[in-house]
């Protein structure tokens, strides 16, 4: 396998003063597709938040896309997030502007200046998620599945090394979940690394891949049985 994108060694993850996960050791290589599963409250979201700098890493050693999580400073977080694509369950699209302007807002916020290059990149990512003709629409004019495709397109804008998807199909019906999952699979096949938190076991059975489980304050790899 290729280079290591994410490595954690003897990591403890806290939510305020509460210990959520303890003695976490894991390694994710470039190009892998990894699921993160576990019951509600098992620590999946806290785990993800630690990876993108929302929660500080207080104990253990961790590196992600070349950043040391232990020594990560507030001013480094925007640079870290440029190398990550983050997809949330609730889309987080700005309701007061159309899709193209939603995406342009992110590019400007991450330092893009050239309008022609921004237009080209927006067209490129919308094409990747099958939404090339929807740039003029507002979020409320799109279905939940379409909004999540836009959220995935937004995560691709800065050509991230790793995509962190936190329950990306959590608010979608089963058929739409499969469509969104196909988009994620295509992105992974193009060489991007994906870590996806989910409680949708049907998707894991349909698209089996390396699976990590949060349970009893631990994170461990689950060996999938053939169905």
Whether 162 is in a domain gets the answer: yes
Alpha-carbon distance 186 to 188, whole Å?
A: 5
pLDDT in tens, 47-62: 999 999 999 999 999 9
User: pTM for this structure?
Assistant: 0.91
Whether 105 is in a domain gets the answer: yes
Q: What domain count does the chain have?
A: 1
Decide: 58 and 22 in contact? Cβ < 8 Å: no
Domain range holding 184?
4-222
Whether 166 is in a domain gets the answer: yes
pLDDT of amino acid 32: 96
Q: Check the CA dihedral 125-130-135-140 and report its sign.
A: negative
Decide: 134 and 126 in contact? Cβ < 8 Å: yes
Q: Which CATH number does the domain housing residue 146 bear?
A: 3.40.50.300
- Strand pairing partners for 195? 34, 164
Residue 224 has pLDDT above 80, yes or no: no
The mean pLDDT value of the chain amounts to: 92
Whether 37 is in a domain gets the answer: yes
pLDDT in tens, 60-102: 999 999 999 999 999 998 889 889 999 988 888 999 999 999 9
pLDDT in tens, 129-151: 999 999 999 999 999 999 999 99
Alpha-carbon distance 20 to 41, whole Å?
A: 9
- Strand pairing partners for 186? none
Whether 227 is in a domain gets the answer: no
H helices within 66-138, ranges in order? 77-82, 99-109, 115-128
Tokens 């461990």 sit on residue: 220
pLDDT of amino acid 92: 86
């Amino acid at each position: 396998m290729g280079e290591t994108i994410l490595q954690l060694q003897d990591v403890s993850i806290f939510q305020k003063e509460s210990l959520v996960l303890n003695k976490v050791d894991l390694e994710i290589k470039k190009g892998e597709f990894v699921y993160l599963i576990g019951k509600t409250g098992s620590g999946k979201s806290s785990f993800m938040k630690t990876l993108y700098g929302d929660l500080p890493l207080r104990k253990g050693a961790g590196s992600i896309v070349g950043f040391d999580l232990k020594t990560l400073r507030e001013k480094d977080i925007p640079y870290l997030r440029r190398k990550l694509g983050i997809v949330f369950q609730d889309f987080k699209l700005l309701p007061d502007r159309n899709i193209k302007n939603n995406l342009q807002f992110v590019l400007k916020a991450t330092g893009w200046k050239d309008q022609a290059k921004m237009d080209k990149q927006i067209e490129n990512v919308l094409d990747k998620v099958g939404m090339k003709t929807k740039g003029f629409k507002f979020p409320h004019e799109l279905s939940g599945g379409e909004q999540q495709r836009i959220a995935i397109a937004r995560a691709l804008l800065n050509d991230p090394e790793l995509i962190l998807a936190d329950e990306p199909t959590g608010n979608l019906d089963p058929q739409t979940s499969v469509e969104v999952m196909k988009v994620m699979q295509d992105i992974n096949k193009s060489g991007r690394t994906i870590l996806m938190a989910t409680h949708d076991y049907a998707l894991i059975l349909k698209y089996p891949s390396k699976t990590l489980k949060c349970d009893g304050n631990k994170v461990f790899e689950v060996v999938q049985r053939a169905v």
